[in-house]
C-alpha cells in the first residue's frame, strides 16, 4: 500500500482568543495534495481547504498561484496564501477572503509519539496572519507533527488533544482501546497510562493517570469548528484552562468515525 504523508503546525494564544492551524498532506496514489488553513481571530473563524495534483511526498511547495503552501520542516517554517471563507464549517474550494499566514517555530521542543509513524513536538511559535491586508501577530505555545502511514486514513473514531503552557504540556490520543499521552508538568516529564476526556461541550474535564498519580484538567472551549471527514464532520475545538492548576491552551479534535 502506498504511504501517505502529512505535516501539521498550530499556535494558540494563552487565553484561547486567537489561534492558527495549518496542515498539508500528500497522497501519491491518488495524485492528491491538500492544504488546510484555519484562523481564529477575536471571535471570528476563517477556513480554507483545497486539493491539488501531488507531484511527490518530498514536494516543499503545494498548490497553485491562488492557493499555495510552502513548508520547510528542517528550518521550522511554513507559509501559505489561500482564499478563505468566514465560516465554522469549512468545505473544499476557494472563498472570497485573501488569507496569508507565516509560522516559525523552534525545532528543539519536547518530542514524543502517540502513534506509529507520527513524530510530535511541543514548540514555541511566532506567526503572522494577514486577512484582506490587515496584519495580526500571534505568538505562543504550539504543536508540530509529521505523519507517515500506510493504513487507511480517518477510519476509526478518535479524540486527539494538544495542550500547552509555560509549565505544562500534554499531547494525548484516545481511540479504540488506546489511551496514551506524553508531556510535562512543572519541569517533570509525563507519560500517561490512562486518559479520559469528557464528550464535546463548552466545558470539559480531563482525567489522566501518571504512574500512581491521578491528575485533572479543566478546559473551556473558546471556538468550535467542523471539517469534512469520512463522509461526515470532524468536530474541532480551541480551548483554554488548566492542567493540575497550571494554565494551558490548545486544541481538541473529536471524530465520531466514517459515515455509512
Name the least confident of 90-99, 117-126, 152-161, 168-177: 152-161
Domain ranges of the chain: 4-255
For the cut 80, the answer to whether the pLDDT of residue 212 exceeds it is no
C-alpha distance from residue 85 to each of 38, 73, 225, 233 (Å): 10, 27, 13, 17
Convert the pLDDT of each residue in 24-63 to its tens digit.
998 888 888 899 999 999 999 999 999 998 756 556 777 7
- Band (pLDDT 50/70/90 cuts) for residue 185 is very high
Q: State the Cα–Cα distance between residues 169 and 192, nearest whole angstrom.
A: 12
C-alpha distance from residue 125 to each of 13, 21, 133 (Å): 10, 11, 22
How many other CB atoms sit within 10 Å of the CB of residue 2?
Answer: 9
Task: Work out the mean pLDDT of the chain and round it to a whole number.
Answer: 90
Q: State the Cα–Cα distance between residues 83 and 160, nearest whole angstrom.
A: 27
Q: Locate cell 478546559: which residue?
A: 219
What confidence score (pLDDT) does residue 153 get? 62
For the cut 80, the answer to whether the pLDDT of residue 66 exceeds it is no
What confidence score (pLDDT) does residue 40 get? 98
What confidence score (pLDDT) does residue 111 get? 87
The one-character DSSP state at 1 is -
Rg of the chain over CA atoms, in angstroms?
17
Q: State the Cα–Cα distance between residues 23 and 145, nearest whole angstrom.
A: 10
For the cut 60, the answer to whether the pLDDT of residue 1 exceeds it is no
- The three-class DSSP label of residue 236 is strand
- The three-class DSSP label of residue 28 is helix
Cβ–Cβ < 8 Å for 228, 51 = no
pLDDT > 90 fraction of the chain, expressed in percent and rounded:
65
Q: Pick the more confident residue, 17 or 147.
A: 17
Strands 178-185 and 168-175: antiparallel
For the cut 60, the answer to whether the pLDDT of residue 152 exceeds it is no
For the cut 90, the answer to whether the pLDDT of residue 213 exceeds it is no
Q: State the Cα–Cα distance between residues 92 and 43, nearest whole angstrom.
A: 22
C-alpha distance from residue 73 to each of 6, 120, 124, 139, 161 (Å): 12, 13, 14, 19, 22
Sequence-distant (6+) residues with CB within 8 A of 51 are 32, 33, 34, 92
What confidence score (pLDDT) does residue 58 get? 56
Q: What is the pTM of this model?
A: 0.94
What confidence score (pLDDT) does residue 211 get? 75
Q: Pick the more confident residue, 56 or 76.
A: 76
What confidence score (pLDDT) does residue 149 get? 77
pLDDT > 70 fraction of the chain, expressed in percent and rounded:
95
Taking phi over 0 as left and psi of -120 to 50 as alpha, with beta for the rest, 66 belongs to alpha
Pure H helices in 85-201? none
What confidence score (pLDDT) does residue 57 get? 55
What confidence score (pLDDT) does residue 56 get? 60
Amino acid at each position: 500500500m502506498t504511504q501517505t504523508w502529512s505535516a501539521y503546525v498550530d499556535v494558540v494564544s494563552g487565553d484561547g482568543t486567537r489561534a492558527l492551524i495549518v496542515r498539508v498532506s500528500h497522497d501519491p496514489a491518488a495524485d492528491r495534495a491538500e492544504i488546510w488553513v484555519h484562523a481564529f481571530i477575536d471571535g471570528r473563524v476563517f477556513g480554507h481547504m483545497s486539493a491539488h495534483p501531488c507531484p511527490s511526498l518530498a514536494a516543499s511547495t503545494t498548490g497553485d498561484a491562488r492557493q499555495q503552501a510552502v513548508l520547510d520542516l528542517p528550518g521550522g517554517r511554513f507559509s501559505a496564501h489561500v482564499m478563505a471563507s468566514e465560516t465554522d464549517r469549512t468545505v473544499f474550494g476557494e472563498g472570497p477572503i485573501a488569507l496569508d499566514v507565516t509560522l516559525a517555530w523552534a525545532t528543539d521542543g519536547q518530542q514524543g509519539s502517540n502513534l506509529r509513524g507520527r513524530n510530535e513536538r511541543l514548540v514555541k511559535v511566532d506567526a503572522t496572519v494577514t486577512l484582506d491586508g490587515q496584519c495580526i501577530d500571534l505568538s505562543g505555545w504550539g504543536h508540530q507533527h509529521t505523519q507517515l502511514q500506510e493504513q487507511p486514513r480517518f477510519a476509526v473514531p478518535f479524540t486527539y488533544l494538544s495542550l500547552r503552557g509555560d509549565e505544562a504540556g500534554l499531547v494525548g490520543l484516545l481511540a479504540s482501546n488506546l489511551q496514551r499521552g506524553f508531556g510535562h508538568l512543572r519541569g517533570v516529564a509525563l507519560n500517561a497510562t490512562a486518559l479520559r476526556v469528557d464528550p464535546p461541550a463548552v466545558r470539559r474535564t480531563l482525567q489522566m493517570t501518571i504512574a500512581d498519580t491521578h491528575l485533572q484538567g479543566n478546559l473551556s472551549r473558546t471556538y468550535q469548528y467542523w471539517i469534512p471527514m469520512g463522509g461526515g464532520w470532524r468536530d474541532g475545538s480551541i480551548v483554554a484552562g488548566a492542567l493540575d492548576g497550571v494554565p494551558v491552551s490548545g486544541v481538541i479534535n473529536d471524530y465520531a468515525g466514517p459515515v455509512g
